[in-house]
Amino acid sequence: MRHALKFSVVHHFADDTNLLYSHKNQKTLRKNVNYDLSLLFEWLCANRLSLNVKKTEFIIFRPPRSYLKDRVTLTLNRCKIFESTKVKYLGIILDSRLSWKHHIFELSKKLSRSVGMLYKMKNLGCDHKILLSLYFSLFQSHLSYGLVAWGSSTYSKKLFLIQKKAIRAISGITFSDSTTDSFTNFKILNLEKLYRLKLAFLMWDFDHGGLPNHLRKLFKYSSDCHSFNTRSASNANLAQNTGFKTNSGSLMLSYTGPKVLNSLKILPFYSNCYTKQSFLAKYKNYLLDLPC
């Protein structure tokens, strides 16, 4: 399909397909995407495939304080498609501002149900081992999914409060008691540390050539930016992107990624780990020893 379109980049995963296209001019954006949609319909007809237009939606990503002059509508097989305020793709809800507000709201409801289940199992007399197994399977599995993308959002603080409720359900402590010792005793990372672990997981892959090209392009080594023999270049550190003028820019992966990898290389065990599993195990223990 990707060879049949002229402007858009096609991404496939299982039965989900999306077209990605960017342009600063709103009219050009609408014109080129509509042209690609017409090519898409022709390709579907040629391959005897059908597309449910009612389930097809699009979203325009833009900065937090940027607004469109006119309403954008697209056409597919003579049917109009109107812009959505949020779309769900691969289990993650994307909004036009990439604030992750809607995703975190839906995730908080799912995690709250898991907390209720933990309390029920606790009341039935289940011990800590069973409750911890339920926590990692029903709670942390959802909490960690896509965390690298939305973990820096200001709305994520709500999820940390729900996580503390889950820890209280496992440990049996009251609402007024601190959860700090329980996190340490059960070897559970709080949301902030779990986010750092997932970022470290990603940047390890970059440093060892395991990231796909479209993600590798976000980062550059200091030695690739200049020819000076600086300490950062000799240590194979990443160049820190300092061109962001807004707070939201400093939360982007292209900014946080180099910061994380450069801090990892200072750790004594980083260069001694030859597998990702050994690195993650040691880094998790390192994070557990840090004060909350």
Residue 220 has pLDDT above 90, yes or no: no
Identify the bridge partners of residue 80 per DSSP, sorted by sequence position. Answer: 75
**Separation between Cα atoms, residue 274 and residue 46, nearest integer Å:** 50
**Separation between Cα atoms, residue 62 and residue 68, nearest integer Å:** 9
Q: What is the pLDDT of residue 229?
A: 54
CA-to-CA dists, residue 118 to 131, 164, 210, angstroms: 7, 12, 37
Q: For the chain, what is the mean pLDDT?
A: 89
The count of other CB atoms within 10 Å of the CB of residue 6 is 9
Identify the bridge partners of residue 172 per DSSP, sorted by sequence position. Answer: none
pTM of the entire structure?
0.88
> In 109-262, which ranges are E strands?
none
Residue 271 has pLDDT above 60, yes or no: yes
pLDDT in tens, 25-40: 999 999 999 999 999 9
Q: What is the pLDDT of residue 223?
A: 67
Residue 9 has pLDDT above 70, yes or no: yes
Name the token pair of 130.
């069973």
Identify the bridge partners of residue 58 per DSSP, sorted by sequence position. Answer: 83
Q: What is the pLDDT of residue 145?
A: 96
Q: What is the pLDDT of residue 240?
A: 74
Percentage of the chain surpassing pLDDT 70? 92
pLDDT in tens, 188-207: 999 999 999 999 999 999 99
Mean pLDDT over 211-235 rounds to 70
Q: What is the pLDDT of residue 249?
A: 63
Q: What is the pLDDT of residue 132?
A: 96
**Separation between Cα atoms, residue 262 and residue 242, nearest integer Å:** 15
pLDDT confidence of 218, banded at 50, 70, 90? confident
Residue 244 has pLDDT above 60, yes or no: no
Name the token pair of 222.
């200091």
Residue 245 has pLDDT above 60, yes or no: no
CA-to-CA dists, residue 11 to 15, 17, 18, 77, 173, angstroms: 11, 6, 5, 21, 47
Residue 108 has pLDDT above 70, yes or no: yes
Residue 234 has pLDDT above 80, yes or no: no
pLDDT confidence of 228, banded at 50, 70, 90? low
75 neighbors 33 (Cβ within 8 angstroms): no
**Separation between Cα atoms, residue 137 and residue 155, nearest integer Å:** 23
